[in-house]
Amino acid sequence: MSSGNPEKTALYAVHEKSGGKIVDFHGWLMPIQYEGIVKEHQAVRERVGLFDVSHMGEFTIKGNESKKFLQKMLTNDLNKIKDGQCLYSPICYANGGIVDDSIAYKINDNEWMLVVNASNIEKDFAWFEENKTEDCVLENISAQTGLIALQGPESEKVFQKLFGQSIDSIEYYHFAPAELEGVAVTVSRTGYTGERGVEIFCQAENVVWLWEKLIEAGQEFGIAPIGLGARDTLRLEMKFALYGNDITDQTNPLEAGLAWTVSLDKEDFIGKAALVAAKEAGLERRLVCFQLDEPGIARHGFAVWNETHAIGEVTSGTMSPTLNKSIGLAYVDLEHAKVGTSINVEVRTRKLKATVVKPPFVENKTK
């Protein structure tokens, strides 16, 4: 993504034509909503929704030492996965702060793809180039790549109708090549909603055609285009981290509840020494889920209190369309991080009662 004027995905005109309310999202002109966030959220939870995620970044890493290079750059262990499998992993600085979170796609030991956040494409690519001493070729293919997410309980019927195969023919967090009317795509059993579904990669020039095919196939199943607003409420109900809110260069994966993505027993990686030290010293805070017990909505940046003093800060907050309750994520002192703990969230001038709850807020149905 270039600096200056906001970028547009290839689907920009489609969003406008469909009545999408366009906003500048980290330098990208994207639909925040169409019919409304609550309606779109419910469409994904109850039926099926379609998301334009072509603004996400994609890098390819190829060559004899591509795995060695990625093992150095990622906190998770690529030895966990086989060809055709995906792996979620943070990318860290030497001090343990998070550069970004990513999904690595293993084509084979010498060929990989990495998906990163749209707001971090340039920063991430520069970080990778700066640290590449291994024998491999790194390429930013974001501009040439289109990506559409098909999510919701009815997504499997839409996919079956269009591709003639079951979603379950691809295991969760795996990917496979597919073809639609002679056009090559890659289908990945991933998503950011907690619902069954797929994400489909294609060449950027084919993304409008693919979107229209999916919309047409999904009409009988109540398919709806979904904006960034509902994407955010859906992911928050799952406690899926959002870079820039819940994870940043000022947070580490251990306190963010991502210890399962940090393989401290693997060979050295950037940030390992700092994360080992943090673990040995003991965490001072943790990212927790909370639910407001009084009317109000918690938002990013609001202070969290015990009875007498501030103990943390809200990183994400919204009114859950599924639960019809105000929910959020917050970093709080470790002594207040236990499920069932009563806390107070400062909403404007009032301190509202809240309770730390177990994640996720609603059942995860991805598998």
Res 196: pLDDT: 98
What structural domains and CATH numbers belong to the chain? 7-54+143-237 (3.30.1360.120), 284-357 (2.40.30.110)
Please state, in angstroms and as integers, the Cα–Cα distance from residue 272 to each residue in 125, 127, 134, 177, 264, following that order: 20, 16, 19, 34, 7
Res 1: pLDDT: 42
Res 138: pLDDT: 98
Please state, in angstroms and as integers, the Cα–Cα distance from residue 133 to each residue in 12, 66, 130, 212, 263, following that order: 38, 10, 8, 43, 22
Res 164: pLDDT: 96
Phi (first) and psi of residue 219, to 5 degrees: -55, -45
Res 5: pLDDT: 85
Amino acid (1-letter code) at residue 343:
I
Res 4: pLDDT: 65
Phi (first) and psi of residue 293, to 5 degrees: -100, 0
The per-residue pLDDT string of the chain (367 residues; one tens digit each, 9 = 90 and over) reads: 445 689 999 999 999 999 999 999 989 999 999 999 999 999 999 999 999 999 999 999 999 999 999 999 999 999 999 999 999 999 999 999 999 999 999 999 999 999 999 999 999 999 999 999 999 999 999 999 999 999 999 999 999 999 999 999 999 999 999 999 999 999 999 999 999 999 999 999 999 999 999 999 999 999 999 999 999 999 999 999 999 999 999 999 999 999 999 999 999 999 999 999 999 999 999 999 999 999 999 999 999 999 999 999 999 999 999 999 999 999 999 999 999 999 999 999 899 999 999 999 999 999 8
Give every CB contact of residue 220 below 8 A, 6+ residues apart in sequence: none
Please state, in angstroms and as integers, the Cα–Cα distance from residue 225 to each residue in 15, 41, 123, 173, following that order: 9, 10, 30, 23
Res 2: pLDDT: 46
